[in-house]
Chains A and B, each alone.
Chain A
Amino acid sequence: MKIENAQYFKDLSTGEVCSIRCIANGLHTSIPTDPDNTDYQEVLKQVKEGTLTIKDAD
């Protein structure tokens, strides 16, 4: 999966990071920080490999 322009997003009610907003394979996408979500697993893999950086939440 090609992931670009990734940025964390905080849950408005809890203030905790809950998702990553990005362009994934050309599509506007929000990937939840749920370890069971396979897109998030791919994000973690790419971060570990050093091919993806994620901006902090606003």
Chain B
Amino acid sequence: MSKAAELANLIGNINAGGGGVNRNVIINGAMNVAQRGTSTTGLGADADTIPTCDRWYHSAQSTAGRFTMTQDSSAPSGFANSLKLACTTADTSIAAGEVLLLRQKLEGQNVQMFAKGTADAKPYALSFYVKGNASATYVAELMDNDNSNRHVNKTFSVTTDWTRVELSLPADTTGALDDDFANSLDLNIWLHAGSNRTSGSLQTTWGALAQANRCVGISSFFSSTSNTFFITGVQLEVGQNPTEFEHKSFAQDLLDCQRYLWCVDATDDRGGSGDRSLGIGTYYNSTAVIVFVDTPVQMRSTPTLSVVLNGSSTWLQSYVGASGNDSNAGLNVGQNGPNTAHRLYFTSAHSGITAGQSSWNQVRDDAKFFMSAEL
């Protein structure tokens, strides 16, 4: 994009109510944060989960196709990472209900600037960079989850070189997005779909849910085990014209992601391998410890707790003074609500302790402790 065109786009978007800093409503658009891990194999079974890069769900239904997802270092100039999908099992007999897509779910309170459902509704400027192993056509979609799944769709092309995709999606004066912390708007990147979603006419203006109009003209990512798909630099902003990607520091990207997932990662050996601090606690009785954890940002809801052992035999190390105990303590989250301060209960964390004794608690080497409040 020339500087003159870039400036014209920016001015145009400012006039339309967008532009400026923090204009990108997509979180982790440069794929720099991957708290869960950088590679997951065998994906494709029915699921709606985030395997690698934070905030980027994959949704699969009814397909025999399988793929590996990685945070990859292949990226266009100015980027360090991309999200890569590599097909490992092809599916060339596509049943009507098959689905594969990438999705970012957006909180209603974060997309109010589009003024959707009002007379002042703003257009959506969507841009991203993509690459594949061969030419292909996929579909980008915005879906309104607050108003019976109204949606708008546009196809885009993938080649063997990094290509910047720029899509202008119209304003929608019907159906306001709720101003809350639930999932109001989805950005969907469709990579595979059966005839249930391809047999109509592509819905290029906002309209009521019409499944057959969602993926007309789409290629199939599962057509061959040679297939790859890379994406990065995803930006959704107010305006008629996409502007250059708004880069953020890693710290800012991480903070944005930590509203939905906070992790103590004892697999990260920077600074030396070993256990990683979790928090100070106090013993409730002889075996159960209450641990207080402060997250760097307010989590979206009371978080779910989970643990991945990654080969470690236990996940928690709880010390009372110099008396440490390793265990797979039971996880329990107290009544906290959306908050930065969290009261966690770990049962069977130690033995023979006197209630009220203080403790220092760590996640054992190679394990990961997660607190998630995903949309």
Residues from 291 to 344 in B contacting A, C-beta threshold 8 Å: 300-308, 315, 328, 330-338
With a cutoff of 8 Å between Cβ atoms, the chain A residues found around residue B315 in the complex are 28
Give Cα A13 to B307, complex, Å. Answer: 24
Q: Closest residue to A16 on the B side, CB-wise?
A: B335
Give the residue of B49, B284, B307, B375 whose beta carbon is less than 8 angstroms from that of A28: B307
Contact, CB under 8 Å: A21 / B303: no
Residues from 7 to 40 in A contacting B, C-beta threshold 8 Å: 9, 11-14, 16, 18-19, 21, 24-25, 27-32, 34, 36-40
Q: How far is the CB of B286 from chain A (nearest CB, A)?
A: 13
Give Cα A36 to B306, complex, Å. Answer: 18
Contact, CB under 8 Å: B304 / A12: no
With a cutoff of 8 Å between Cβ atoms, the chain A residues found around residue B303 in the complex are 32, 37
Contact, CB under 8 Å: B306 / A32: no
Q: How many A-B residue pairs have CB under 8 A?
A: 78
* Interface hub of A11, A21, A36 (most chain B Cβ within 10 A): A36
Contact, CB under 8 Å: A38 / B374: yes
Q: Chain B contact residues: over half helix, strand or loop, or mixed?
A: loop
Give Cα A29 to B373, complex, Å. Answer: 13
Contact, CB under 8 Å: B284 / A29: no
Contact, CB under 8 Å: B335 / A11: yes
Q: How large, as a class, is the contact surface on chain B?
A: 20 to 34
Contact, CB under 8 Å: A21 / B334: no
The answer, yes or no, to whether B257 is at the interface (CB within 8 Å) is no
With a cutoff of 8 Å between Cβ atoms, the chain A residues found around residue B305 in the complex are 29-30
Number of interface residues of A (CB under 8 A): 23
* Interface hub of B181, B308, B332, B338 (most chain A Cβ within 10 A): B332
The answer, yes or no, to whether B345 is at the interface (CB within 8 Å) is yes
Give Cα A40 to B303, complex, Å. Answer: 10
Contact, CB under 8 Å: A27 / B308: yes
Give Cα A16 to B271, complex, Å. Answer: 42
Give Cα A1 to B172, complex, Å. Answer: 33
Ordered by A's residue number, 13 sampled pairs between the chains whose C-beta atoms are within 8 Å are: A9-B345, A11-B335, A18-B332, A18-B335, A21-B332, A27-B308, A29-B305, A29-B307, A30-B306, A34-B302, A36-B182, A38-B183, A39-B374
